[in-house]
């Protein structure tokens, strides 16, 4: 027996060396961690249990070190909670995904769903491996696995987080795209479907990998990724932080943590953040941080569609998802990209039992031919659909202005299923702003007036006086409570406590059809 034990130890030692010293030196040269080092850096100490270490290795000839078939999989813990984790090993087959590695990937994801634990992918793969069948060989059916299907079926069941830690292409990017959150490391993380060489051959255009699919591109321009960080260590810290807000699966509620922040705390400084002058801007994140526990707010897609702010925070220790208009950009107008951003975030929160808080301050949808031709109707409908379909507790605060379709598109319309609508004393809510309303209502009078400009100013002033304040909306139950800004935190917490066991029955259906 001792001889066999020594053989096992030798194989384990060889497996831990990956593809060999030359390949490991190349990984170091690129300034990247090894796959197992990445796993150990992310997980709680000594919690990793590897599975499939010997998969894919040729034990007969041992001409090439291919332990794990370029993919490391296993189980571990983050914040003392179990997770499934996989990492591409770039030192074996350059991290490319072969049939056996794909089988490992799919089995891990299947088991993660069965066990109800989050799935973490540390991605560093150029895509599918080109495998030439041997003469007389048979492509066995049991090796035909699709992790695309697994990711799709796991969606809304368990959280799925991917870290892009190298140049990833083809099927190595569609898996993450089918998940929930993507984190990219600047300088080393890239996502693309076709490389610069193919683009040059087909179109003649010359472009670098970074210009084509770097972290800035996907976090700021395309919205494919949710976070960008400077180092791998920062990436692993962010994964741990993100998971601290989330439940293990859709059957659980998010974790309740004692943050030590008084639920009855008020903050008089809130009244000074939002200007009463509608033409002046402010940073809505200042409002968020004053209201939530200890000012802790994890913003999602911070660089994309900056006219909207989405992210996670806690109120009295309970995780909440916050969706807010951002007056700093485009005056907080809704557009194609912000609609996509908010709809996706709302759907995630609803899938994982995370209550939603909407902070509303916008003049409506961004006007213009570009937006109309880009399909603002279809994209805007995504947000309406997501809000209406969500069954978690939904609370809204009208901070300042809520106009036209922007009311519903920002979560301020009670008829979309908002459980409580609060308003600050400076809030106004209407189909049109005073200026636009005056042009429509008094069109004929203005056209025939001796001094149209003077009459227009008079009518605007009259309408603004009549429309100002939230009290007309409160009188017809469109607003449930007008509150002082300082009271916002404790009123939201009290409303969440009442709604914590909310259950909303729905018609039977296979699934709805979101206007994607």
CATH of the domain at 350: 3.90.226.10
Q: Quick one: DSSP state of residue 490?
A: H
Contacts of 89 (CB under 8 A, 6+ apart): 18, 19, 34, 35, 36, 68, 70, 71, 72, 95
Same domain, 25 and 85: yes
Q: Is residue 21 part of a domain?
A: yes
Angle at Cα 119 formed by Cα 508 and Cα 383, nearest 5°?
45
Per-residue model confidence (pLDDT) at position 468: 61
Per-residue model confidence (pLDDT) at position 385: 96
E strands, 271-388, are: 298-300, 308-315, 318-325, 356-362
Listed residues 244, 277, 295: the one ending a domain:
244
Token look-up 């150029």 returns 126
Q: Is residue 286 part of a domain?
A: yes
Of residues 415, 389, 356, 384, the one with CA closest to residue 509 = 389
Listed residues 229, 244, 259: the one ending a domain:
244
Range of the domain at 120: 2-130+143-244
Each of the 516 residues of the chain gets a pLDDT tens digit; together they read 888 888 778 777 777 776 666 666 666 667 788 889 999 999 999 999 999 887 766 666 666 667 778 889 999 999 999 999 999 988 887 767 777 878 889 999 999 999 999 999 999 987 667 665 555 444 544 455 688 999 999 999 999 999 999 999 877 899 999 999 999 999 999 999 888 888 888 888 888 999 999 999 999 999 999 999 999 999 999 999 999 999 999 999 999 999 999 999 999 999 999 999 888 999 999 999 999 999 999 999 999 999 999 999 999 999 999 999 999 999 999 999 999 999 999 999 999 999 999 999 999 999 999 999 999 999 999 999 999 999 999 999 999 998 888 899 999 999 999 999 999 999 988 755 666 666 767 787 777 778 878 777 777 776 666 666 788 888 888 999 999 999 999 999 999 999 999 998 888 999 899 998
Per-residue model confidence (pLDDT) at position 133: 57
Per-residue model confidence (pLDDT) at position 491: 98
Same domain, 331 and 208: no
The structural domain count of the chain equals 2
Same domain, 112 and 177: yes
Q: Is residue 381 part of a domain?
A: yes
Same domain, 339 and 477: yes
| Backbone φ, ψ for residue 482 (5° rounding) | -95, 125
Query: Is residue 163 helix, strand or coil?
Result: strand
Same domain, 69 and 188: yes
Same domain, 289 and 378: yes
pTM of the model: 0.90
Same domain, 223 and 305: no
Rounded to the nearest 5 percent, the helix, strand and coil shares of the chain are 40, 20, 40
Same domain, 296 and 155: no
Per-residue model confidence (pLDDT) at position 480: 94
Same domain, 301 and 229: no
Per-residue model confidence (pLDDT) at position 373: 96
Same domain, 186 and 289: no
Return left, alpha or beta for 125; rule: phi > 0 is left, psi -120 to 50 is alpha, else beta. Answer: beta
Q: Is residue 263 part of a domain?
A: no
- Report how far apart, in Å, the C-alpha atoms of 36 and of each of 48, 89, 98, 220, 509 are: 10, 8, 19, 30, 44
Q: Is residue 119 part of a domain?
A: yes
Same domain, 196 and 286: no
- Distance separating alpha carbons of residues 459 and 461, to the nearest angstrom: 5
The two tokens of residue 265 are 């705390």
């Amino acid at each position: 027996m001792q001889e066999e034990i020594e053989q096992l130890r030798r194989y384990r030692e060889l497996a831990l060396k990956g593809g060999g010293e030359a390949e490991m030196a190349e990984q170091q040269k690129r300034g990247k961690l090894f796959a197992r080092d990445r796993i150990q850096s992310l997980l709680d100490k000594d919690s990793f249990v590897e599975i499939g270490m010997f998969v894919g290795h040729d034990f007969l000839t041992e001409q090439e070190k291919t332990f794990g078939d370029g993919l490391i999989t296993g189980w571990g813990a983050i914040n003392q909670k179990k997770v499934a984790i996989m990492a591409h090993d770039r030192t074996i087959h350059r991290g490319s995904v072969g049939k056996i590695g794909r089988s490992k990937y799919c089995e891990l994801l299947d088991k993660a769903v069965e066990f109800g634990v989050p799935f973490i992918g540390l991605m560093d793969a150029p895509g599918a491996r080109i495998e030439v069948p041997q003469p007389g060989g048979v492509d066995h059916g049991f090796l035909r696995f699709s992790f695309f299907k697994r990711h799709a079926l796991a969606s809304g069941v368990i959280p799925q987080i991917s870290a892009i830690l190298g140049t990833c292409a083809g099927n190595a990017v569609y898996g993450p795209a089918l998940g929930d959150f993507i984190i990219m490391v600047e300088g080393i993380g890239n996502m693309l479907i076709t490389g610069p060489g193919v683009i040059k051959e087909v179109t003649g255009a010359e472009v670098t990998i970074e210009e084509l699919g770097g972290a800035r591109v996907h976090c700021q321009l395309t919205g494919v990724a949710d976070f960008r960080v400077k180092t791998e260590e920062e990436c692993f810290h962010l994964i741990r932080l993100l998971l601290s807000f989330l439940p293990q699966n859709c059957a659980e509620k998010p974790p309740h943590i004692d943050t030590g922040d008084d639920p009855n705390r008020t903050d008089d400084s809130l009244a000074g953040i939002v200007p009463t002058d509608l033409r002046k801007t402010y940073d809505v994140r200042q409002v968020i941080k004053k209201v939530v526990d200890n000012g802790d707010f994890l913003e999602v897609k911070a660089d994309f569609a900056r006219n909207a702010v989405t992210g996670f925070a806690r109120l009295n220790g309970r995780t909440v998802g916050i969706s807010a208009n951002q007056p700093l950009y485009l005056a907080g107008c809704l557009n194609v990209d912000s609609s996509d951003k908010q709809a996706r975030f709302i759907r995630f929160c609803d899938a994982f039992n995370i209550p939603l808080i909407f902070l509303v301050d916008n003049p409506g949808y961004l006007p213009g031919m570009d937006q109309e031709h880009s399909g603002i109707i279809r994209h805007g409908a995504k947000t309406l659909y997501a809000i209406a379909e969500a069954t978690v507790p939904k609370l809204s605060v009208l901070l300042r202005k809520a106009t036209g379709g922007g009311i519903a598109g920002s979560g301020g319309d009670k008829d979309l299923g908002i459980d409580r609508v609060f308003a600050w004393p400076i809030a106004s809510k209407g189909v049109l702003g005073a200026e636009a309303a005056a042009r429509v209502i008094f069109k004929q009078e203005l056209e025939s007036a001796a001094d149209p400009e003077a009459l227009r100013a008079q009518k605007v002033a009259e309408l603004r006086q009549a429309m100002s304040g939230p009290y007309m909306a409160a009188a017809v139950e469109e607003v449930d409570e007008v509150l002082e800004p300082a009271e916002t935190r404790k009123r939201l917490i009290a409303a969440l406590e009442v709604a914590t066991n909310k259950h909303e029955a729905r018609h039977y259906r296979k699934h709805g059809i979101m206007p994607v």
